[in-house]
Amino acid sequence: MPHLVILYTGNLDHVVEMPALCRELADAMLAVRDEAGAQVFPTGGTRVLAYPAPHFAVGDGGAAGRAAGAGKTGLSTGDPGEYGFMYLNLRMARGRTAATQQRAGDALLAVTRARLDAVMATRHIGLTIQVDEGPEVFDAKHSTLHPLFKTS
Protein backbone atom coordinates (compact mmCIF):
# COMPACT_ATOMS: atom_id res chain seq x y z
CA MET A 1 0.00 0.00 0.00
CA PRO A 2 -0.61 2.65 -1.24
CA HIS A 3 -2.09 1.66 -4.56
CA LEU A 4 -3.33 4.14 -7.12
CA VAL A 5 -5.61 2.55 -9.69
CA ILE A 6 -6.55 4.51 -12.79
CA LEU A 7 -9.53 3.44 -14.85
CA TYR A 8 -10.05 5.37 -18.06
CA THR A 9 -11.89 5.29 -21.35
CA GLY A 10 -9.73 3.75 -24.05
CA ASN A 11 -10.19 6.75 -26.33
CA LEU A 12 -7.74 8.64 -24.11
CA ASP A 13 -4.84 6.36 -25.03
CA HIS A 14 -4.04 8.35 -28.15
CA VAL A 15 -4.09 11.73 -26.38
CA VAL A 16 -2.62 11.04 -22.91
CA GLU A 17 0.85 9.56 -22.33
CA MET A 18 -0.28 7.07 -19.71
CA PRO A 19 3.19 5.63 -18.88
CA ALA A 20 4.48 9.13 -18.19
CA LEU A 21 1.40 10.03 -16.15
CA CYS A 22 1.80 6.86 -14.06
CA ARG A 23 5.45 7.66 -13.31
CA GLU A 24 4.63 11.28 -12.42
CA LEU A 25 1.82 10.17 -10.11
CA ALA A 26 4.08 7.63 -8.37
CA ASP A 27 6.75 10.31 -7.90
CA ALA A 28 4.12 12.68 -6.48
CA MET A 29 2.99 10.01 -4.03
CA LEU A 30 6.58 9.44 -2.91
CA ALA A 31 6.97 13.18 -2.31
CA VAL A 32 3.99 13.45 0.07
CA ARG A 33 5.11 14.25 3.60
CA ASP A 34 3.25 14.15 6.90
CA GLU A 35 3.09 16.95 9.45
CA ALA A 36 6.50 15.92 10.82
CA GLY A 37 8.07 15.95 7.36
CA ALA A 38 8.34 12.16 7.07
CA GLN A 39 7.63 10.35 3.81
CA VAL A 40 4.04 9.11 3.98
CA PHE A 41 4.09 6.27 1.48
CA PRO A 42 6.78 3.58 1.46
CA THR A 43 8.82 3.52 -1.73
CA GLY A 44 8.56 -0.24 -2.14
CA GLY A 45 4.80 -0.24 -1.58
CA THR A 46 3.84 2.56 -3.95
CA ARG A 47 2.11 1.32 -7.07
CA VAL A 48 0.29 3.08 -9.90
CA LEU A 49 -1.70 0.87 -12.26
CA ALA A 50 -3.70 2.14 -15.25
CA TYR A 51 -6.41 0.21 -17.05
CA PRO A 52 -8.10 1.42 -20.24
CA ALA A 53 -11.70 0.42 -20.86
CA PRO A 54 -11.94 -0.67 -24.51
CA HIS A 55 -15.74 -0.61 -24.28
CA PHE A 56 -17.51 2.28 -22.60
CA ALA A 57 -20.46 4.63 -22.67
CA VAL A 58 -20.17 8.10 -21.11
CA GLY A 59 -23.16 10.41 -20.80
CA ASP A 60 -25.00 10.89 -24.08
CA GLY A 61 -22.12 9.63 -26.19
CA GLY A 62 -20.88 13.09 -27.15
CA ALA A 63 -24.09 14.50 -28.61
CA ALA A 64 -24.29 17.53 -26.31
CA GLY A 65 -20.64 18.36 -26.86
CA ARG A 66 -20.99 18.22 -30.62
CA ALA A 67 -24.24 20.22 -30.52
CA ALA A 68 -22.73 22.94 -28.34
CA GLY A 69 -19.84 23.53 -30.75
CA ALA A 70 -16.43 24.98 -29.94
CA GLY A 71 -17.53 28.56 -29.39
CA LYS A 72 -20.14 27.78 -26.76
CA THR A 73 -18.05 25.32 -24.74
CA GLY A 74 -14.81 27.25 -24.78
CA LEU A 75 -13.03 24.37 -26.53
CA SER A 76 -10.54 25.55 -29.10
CA THR A 77 -11.17 22.87 -31.72
CA GLY A 78 -14.42 21.25 -30.65
CA ASP A 79 -14.85 17.74 -29.34
CA PRO A 80 -13.83 15.06 -31.86
CA GLY A 81 -16.46 12.62 -30.66
CA GLU A 82 -17.14 10.38 -27.68
CA TYR A 83 -16.40 11.84 -24.28
CA GLY A 84 -13.46 10.65 -22.20
CA PHE A 85 -13.34 9.81 -18.53
CA MET A 86 -10.57 9.09 -16.04
CA TYR A 87 -11.05 7.78 -12.50
CA LEU A 88 -8.16 7.67 -10.04
CA ASN A 89 -8.61 5.82 -6.76
CA LEU A 90 -5.85 6.03 -4.15
CA ARG A 91 -6.20 3.33 -1.55
CA MET A 92 -4.08 3.73 1.57
CA ALA A 93 -3.85 1.99 4.90
CA ARG A 94 -5.49 3.54 7.95
CA GLY A 95 -3.69 5.92 10.25
CA ARG A 96 -2.94 9.00 8.13
CA THR A 97 -4.33 12.31 9.28
CA ALA A 98 -7.03 14.11 7.32
CA ALA A 99 -4.45 16.77 6.41
CA THR A 100 -2.10 14.12 5.02
CA GLN A 101 -4.91 12.54 3.04
CA GLN A 102 -5.77 15.97 1.64
CA ARG A 103 -2.12 16.59 0.68
CA ALA A 104 -2.01 13.26 -1.15
CA GLY A 105 -5.23 14.02 -3.04
CA ASP A 106 -4.09 17.55 -3.90
CA ALA A 107 -0.76 16.21 -5.20
CA LEU A 108 -2.50 13.67 -7.45
CA LEU A 109 -4.92 16.29 -8.74
CA ALA A 110 -2.09 18.71 -9.57
CA VAL A 111 -0.10 16.09 -11.50
CA THR A 112 -3.14 14.81 -13.36
CA ARG A 113 -4.31 18.30 -14.30
CA ALA A 114 -0.83 19.19 -15.52
CA ARG A 115 -1.16 16.29 -17.99
CA LEU A 116 -4.85 16.65 -18.84
CA ASP A 117 -5.59 20.38 -18.96
CA ALA A 118 -4.19 20.80 -22.49
CA VAL A 119 -6.18 17.78 -23.68
CA MET A 120 -9.30 19.05 -21.92
CA ALA A 121 -8.98 22.28 -23.88
CA THR A 122 -9.94 20.32 -27.02
CA ARG A 123 -12.01 17.42 -25.70
CA HIS A 124 -14.76 16.80 -23.19
CA ILE A 125 -13.26 14.68 -20.41
CA GLY A 126 -14.46 13.94 -16.91
CA LEU A 127 -11.94 13.46 -14.12
CA THR A 128 -12.59 11.98 -10.69
CA ILE A 129 -10.00 11.43 -7.96
CA GLN A 130 -10.88 9.63 -4.75
CA VAL A 131 -8.75 8.80 -1.72
CA ASP A 132 -9.89 5.83 0.37
CA GLU A 133 -8.50 4.06 3.39
CA GLY A 134 -9.18 0.75 5.20
CA PRO A 135 -10.72 -0.92 7.09
CA GLU A 136 -9.44 -4.08 5.56
CA VAL A 137 -10.98 -7.37 6.58
CA PHE A 138 -7.91 -9.24 5.34
CA ASP A 139 -4.53 -7.75 4.49
CA ALA A 140 -1.59 -9.98 3.64
CA LYS A 141 1.66 -8.85 2.07
CA HIS A 142 4.57 -10.77 0.63
CA SER A 143 7.27 -8.86 -1.21
CA THR A 144 10.90 -8.86 -2.20
CA LEU A 145 10.60 -5.14 -3.08
CA HIS A 146 10.58 -3.56 0.38
CA PRO A 147 14.10 -4.72 1.35
CA LEU A 148 15.46 -2.78 -1.64
CA PHE A 149 14.42 0.51 -0.06
CA LYS A 150 15.31 -0.03 3.58
CA THR A 151 18.02 2.25 4.83
CA SER A 152 20.55 1.01 7.32
The CA angle 139-142-144, to the nearest 5 degrees, is: 150
- Name the average pLDDT for the chain: 87
What is the maximal distance between C-alpha atoms in the chain? 62
What pLDDT is attached to residue 152?
59
3-state SS, residue 44? helix
pTM here? 0.85
> CATH classification of 3-149, choosing from 1.20.1440.230, 3.30.450.20, 3.30.429.10, 3.40.50.1100?
3.30.429.10
What pLDDT is attached to residue 59?
87
Mean pLDDT of 48-60: 93
What pLDDT is attached to residue 61?
83
Distance CA 9, CA 56 (A): 6
Q: Which residues contact 24 (CB under 8 A, 6 or more apart)?
A: 111, 114, 115
Residues 71-103 have pLDDT tens digits of: 445 444 445 568 899 999 999 988 999 999 999
